[in-house]
Structure 1
Amino acid sequence: MTPSLRQIHAAVALARTLSFTRAADELNISQPALTVQIRNLEEMLGQRIYDRDNRSVQLTGFGRAILPSLQRLMREMDATLSDIQEIREGGGVTRIASLPSFATGVLPRLILDFRSLQPQAHIHVSDVVASRVFELVQRGECDLGVSGGPHLPGDLEVLQSGVQQLHVVFPLGHPYAAREALSLSELIEQPLVMMDASTSVRTTLDAAAAKLGVKPRISVEVAFMATAVAMVRAGLGVAILPGAAREVVIDPEVDSRPIADAELSRQILFVCRRGFTLSPTTERFAAMVGAAIAGI
């Protein structure tokens, strides 16, 4: 059997005071209740911890030997209970895997707003490509995930979804700047800076091109949107990226226009593991993220 937290507290308090009266007062229990706790602990361990008579209480040799271990157990258990209480009150770690475009665009403001409400909460962000988002949530390495659809593993559950318009991104002064919108058929013959095949943007573009029965003219392939924008800026082609991506919005040397094809809208999925109970802190953060995705 394992000693209870009450028994450990009783043994340590008695060792500190060497008085049943003072130890009982310190623990806010009756002296008979303290006596029962000590006796039950000794019976469980099969050894006397204290020698006592009507006048004094002293640790036995066995009691002196195990006291450091009991003190360590008490500190660890008290710390664990404190951690649990902190999590119940809004602390703990929330782990979210996210598309880089969402992690650099929407997520920073959400975390700032959430921390203003729950300053003791900790948010860990893994900014990875779409396929990795699902993997991290499936394996339990992240509690929440923001990824591109539409293919969702069966062991994940959608908390919220949204649709993100894809744009053609081009250098300043490009003829496309005179247009309000373009179609994929107009872009397909252009040299394209393409995202890597593991990204949801590329998956969306490949599916739309296949539906048209055309093959994109690839100039260069990259893994990150910031790199794609740099390639566009250098004149290596135009790129198809989310129009709201921070990399597009903040760069003063590029511009963008929406692509009218319905197939060039990327579905955004906010997911967690199916049947997994989130902590109270993570549930509250998930509500904020879900509201933001619904408004995309």
Structure 2
Amino acid sequence: MPEDNSKNDGSDIRLRELRVLRAIVTTGTTTAAADVLGISQPAVSRTVAQLEERLGRVLFAREGGRLLPTSEALGIDAELDVLFNALDRIENPDRRAPDPTVPLRIAAPPTIAHRFLPGPVADFSRRYPDQTILIDVLSSDVLVTQVAEGRVDIALSDAEPNHAAVRVEPFRASHVVCLMRRENPLSAKQVILPEDLDGLAYVAQTRRHSARVAKDRALAAAGVQPRITIETATVVSAAELVREGLGVALINPFPTALRLDASLTTRPFEPTITLQTSFLSPIGTRHSPATLAFMAMVRARANQTQKGDF
């Protein structure tokens, strides 16, 4: 005869049953456990009965309306600290304590490093004052190489890297806007179209930027050609050149448009060009507690700055 495997070995134990067990051990009654868990008292009683049946063991003695944990229940409860602590770290990664002896290595291109990064870095440093932070300000292509080689824990970039060794995790989407001086006649328009830029003095990003391709494609599709006065590598530089009167520019508004010079303004550009700002990290590595905490603070800051199409 085949071996009888009908006896339940406990392999189907459910997490909610263990949560109920812990709540009863902690509070002593099904009513109090129900209050802690936010469920009904009958649901607590049913769950205990199910767990006892599943394990084939008596877990609680019933005395005077109270549930007294047996040695079996206390033994199981003692094993749950590791499980629940791990679950808490998974559900709330910002609670994991970073190791202050291991530096957090951050990298970003100049625009993000100068216009956005100081905020979340300050948040992180105030939360973890003993943590050493190393910040590299790198061009986008060098940044990707540094991440791929594992020399950076986390990088922020609005480029679109295509590297097999780099993990990309978007955290903010933005729509390209047209940047101009406030007295520019185009500032009277609600939306800037490609034909508005035909023949106009224009500050362009250098061609190595992935966003340049999308902008050029939108202009070419409309059959227009701005008059490029200068090409520059960073949005911060483009903004300064626009401020000096060298033309208008199509830019990613995050984060530059959040700290514009008073002489400058932006208008939405159509057709819509969406750009992602992302975390970059080495493929095949797990984020450290420090990295996860920093990423959470970046997301919080980015959400605070979200407004309109920015």
Question: Shorter-chain TM-score category?
Answer: 0.5 to 0.7
Q: For 2:156 and 2:214, how far apart are their aligned partners in 1? A: 16
Aligned to 2:297: 288
| Count of residues paired in the alignment | 209
For 1:154, what is the secondary structure of its paired residue? coil
Please say if 1:144 is aligned against 2:144: no
Structure 1 pair 136–232 and aligned structure 2 pair: CA distance change class (3 A) = same
Contact 2:108 2:136 in 1 (8 A): yes
Alignment of 1:175-214 (within 5 A): 175-212=185-222
Aligned to 2:285: 276
TM-score by length of 1: 0.62
The RMSD of aligned alpha carbons is 2.6
Contact 2:123 2:297 in 1 (8 A): no
Please say if 1:258 is aligned against 2:268: yes
Contact 1:169 1:254 in 2 (8 A): yes
Quote the offset at 1:151 in angstroms: 4.4
Quote the offset at 1:118 in angstroms: 0.3
Aligned to 1:217: 227
Contact 1:91 1:281 in 2 (8 A): no
CA offsets 1:30-68 (integer angstroms, 9 cap, x no match): xxxxxxxxxxxxxxxxxxxxxxxxxxxxxxxxxxxxxxx
Structure 1 pair 119–248 and aligned structure 2 pair: CA distance change class (3 A) = closer
- Residue from 230, 242, 252 that aligns with 2:252: 242
- Which amino acid in the other structure matches residue 103 of structure 2? V
Contact 1:168 1:256 in 2 (8 A): yes
CA offsets 1:109-129 (integer angstroms, 9 cap, x no match): 101111111001122222233
Q: For 1:161 and 1:223, how far apart are their aligned partners in 2? A: 23
- Residue from 227, 230, 237 that aligns with 1:227: 237
Q: For 2:149 and 2:170, how far apart are their aligned partners in 1? A: 20
Contact 1:172 1:253 in 2 (8 A): yes
TM-score by length of 2: 0.59
Q: For 1:210 and 1:152, how far apart are their aligned partners in 2? A: 25
Quote the offset at 1:102 in angstroms: 2.0
Please say if 1:158 is aligned against 2:161: no
- Residue from 120, 125, 129 that aligns with 1:110: 120
Q: For 1:206 and 1:260, how far apart are their aligned partners in 2? A: 13
Greater share of helix residues, 1 or 2?
Answer: 1
For 1:168, what is the secondary structure of its paired residue? strand
Contact 2:176 2:272 in 1 (8 A): no
Alignment of 1:47-86 (within 5 A): none
For 2:114, what is the secondary structure of its paired residue? helix
Gaps of 5+ in 1: 1-86
Q: For 1:251 and 1:171, how far apart are their aligned partners in 2? A: 10
Gaps of 5+ in 2: 1-96
